[in-house]
């Protein structure tokens, strides 16, 4: 009996060893389909715009526009960004002062602080996060469509994008609001009702 247990245990170990390399190739096509990862370390400060054709993780400080239209931008818990972010997917755990324009989903994690406008069709505000500003979750938003339908990115579009989230599409001045997260949820519902009307 004891020999069977030892054999079964070593079989399970070999099965585990076989399973790890077997699961690794499943992740390889995903990694091959997406570019590598750029990291701005915790002791790094960047002043200026960043254009990235790969996933970007910011653990340090950035002052400028981050454009990562087809990839994910992740802001670490100690990271700080002062400027606008244009990304396919966004994860914020640190502090952002600027406008967030996200094609797919923006997630503001517990402990994060965000001040500005968020334009994203899918938004997750976790408990314990702080948000002050406005939210637009309309997938047909003009800024969202114009940002992600452009085939090229040039210096002229940077200045237009930098100011466009702050101006409304009908020429009226933007509605400014400072809210905590629970109030933002009520504001979202009210804004959604206005969009439906």
* pLDDT tens digits, 171-192: 343 444 444 444 444 444 444 4
Q: Flag whether the pTM goes above 0.75.
A: no
pLDDT at 161: 42
pLDDT at 149: 85
pLDDT at 177: 40
3-state secondary structure of 38: strand
pLDDT at 37: 93
CB 137 within 8 A of CB 192: yes
Distance between alpha carbon 75 and the CA centroid of its chain, in Å? 8
CB 83 within 8 A of CB 99: no
* List of the chain residues with pLDDT < 70: 1-35, 150-197
Q: How far apart are CA 43 and CA 121, in angstroms?
A: 33
């Amino acid at each position: 009996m004891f020999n069977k247990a030892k054999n079964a245990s070593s079989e399970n170990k070999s099965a585990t060893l076989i399973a790890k390399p077997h699961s690794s190739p499943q992740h390889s096509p995903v990694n091959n389909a997406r570019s590598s990862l750029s990291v701005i370390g915790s002791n790094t400060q960047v002043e200026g715009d960043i254009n990235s054709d790969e996933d970007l993780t910011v653990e340090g400080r950035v002052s400028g526009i981050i454009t990562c239209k087809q990839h994910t931008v992740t802001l670490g818990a100690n990271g700080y960004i002062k400027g606008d972010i244009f990304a396919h997917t966004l994860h914020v755990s640190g502090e952002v002062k600027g406008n967030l324009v996200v094609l797919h989903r923006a997630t503001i994690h517990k402990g994060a602080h965000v001040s500005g406008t968020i334009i994203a069709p899918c938004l997750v505000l976790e408990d314990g996060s702080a948000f002050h500003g406005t939210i637009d979750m309309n997938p047909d938003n003009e800024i969202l469509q114009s940002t992600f339908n452009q085939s090229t990115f040039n210096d002229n579009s940077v200045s237009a994008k930098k100011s466009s989230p702050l101006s409304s599409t009908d020429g009226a001045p933007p509605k400014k609001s400072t809210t905590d997260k629970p109030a933002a949820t009520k504001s979202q519902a009210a804004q959604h009702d206005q969009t439906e009307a």
